[in-house]
Amino acid sequence: MSRRAFVTLLTKISYLPGVLVLDYGLKTSGTTYPLIVMATPTLEQEARDILDERHIEIYDIQPLMPASERHSVAEHDARFRDTWTKLRAFELKGFERVVLLDADMVVKRHMNELLEMSLADDEIAAAHVCACNPLKLAHYPDDWIPANCAHTAVQNPLGLPPAWSPTSPRPYGQLNSGTVVLNPSSALGEKIVHYLNTEDLRNFAFPDQDLLSAYFKGKWQPLPWYYNALKSLRVIHPQLWDDKEVRCIHYILKDKPWEARMPAVPGPFDAVNTWWWEQFDSMVKELGFASRDKVMTLVDTAKAK
């Protein structure tokens, strides 16, 4: 029997707090669909035991990565090196629809509709990238400027995202892969892996994300910002942001909320970081003593870095 589910990737125990909070937010928001964790052989047994305690199903997969000479990432983005493995979601057996979510997310409102929306077999749905590059990172594409950012074109929280056309700025055709709606199949999975192994990847600054933007060019439905509410949008695009409209907030960039409950220096994302900690505190109370100690140790270790 085919199933529908939210899916995330977990390759190492250090991201376990993020997965547990993601699952907690889905459950407390009233979702009617489960979270499935795609786990690679590198995931420690300790993490697997805690997932079992939380009744989170594990789907074992193998890593996916192009040969080292075919692609590399900037040192600033070293965390992206294993995100190619997210593409295994397209191969999942027994599922007719999944919503792929990153582990560094908090669900504020249920998103059942993403698992029920109309979507052709050869399409995906996702929200746009933010192409403003406020940190002026040199390795980001040259055309990533506010004038070319699709979010700049949305003038209110309920405004529709712009559709791509051949005359649109290039970033209008680029998605953020934190939330991706897709219909898995063996055939589609094989085509994407073939694309990964044969196409020129040298200009893909954001591995799986750039591949999906290229492979599904003209075949992805743009989702409103609030299904993948990049934390930076609250600061960069205040005209579209409304806390009440956020379905799922995405803690992009290197600093993750579990690394510091109260940062040493106040920053622009402190308010949204408290959303993660509120859900973490509630979730951890439900853990058994042994699991609670393990998760708290993980968080304490992250904060000490």
Residue 90 near residue 177 (C-beta atoms within 8 A): no
Place of tokens 């700049």: 152
Q: Which domain holds residue 181?
A: 3-130+175-304
Q: What percent of the chain stands above pLDDT 70? A: 94
**What are phi and psi for residue 36, nearest 5 degrees?**
-110, 135
Closest C-alpha among 240, 217, 219 to residue 230: 240
Render pLDDT for 255-282 as a digit per residue (tens, 0 to 9).
899 988 887 788 889 999 999 999 999 9
Q: Are strands 220-222 and 175-182 parallel, antiparallel or unpaired?
A: unpaired
Q: How far apart are CA 56 and CA 39, in angstroms?
A: 12
Q: What is the pLDDT of residue 70?
A: 55
Please tell me the total count of domains within the chain.
1
Residue 5 sits at φ, ψ, to 5 deg, of -165, 160
Q: Does the pLDDT value for residue 72 go beyond 70? A: no
pLDDT at res. 75: 44
| Cβ contact 269:260 at 8 Å | no
199, β-bridge pairs:
none
The one-character DSSP state at 214 is H
The answer to whether residues 57 and 28 touch, using CB atoms and an 8 Å cutoff, is: no
Q: Are 119 and 183 in contact (CB under 8 A)?
A: yes
Residue 140 lies in a domain: no
Identify the CATH number of the domain in which residue 179 sits. 3.90.550.10
Written as six digits, the tokens of 253 are: 């960039």
Q: Give all strands of the β-sheet with 35-39 in edge-to-edge order.
A: 57-60, 35-39, 3-10, 95-101, 175-182, 124-128, 220-222
pLDDT value of residue 244: 97
Q: Does residue 233 lie within any of the structural domains? A: yes
Q: For residue 305, what pLDDT is reported?
A: 63
pLDDT (tens digit per residue) in 99-131: 999 999 999 999 999 999 999 999 999 999 999
Look at the pTM and tell me if it is higher than 0.75: yes
Within a domain: 158: no
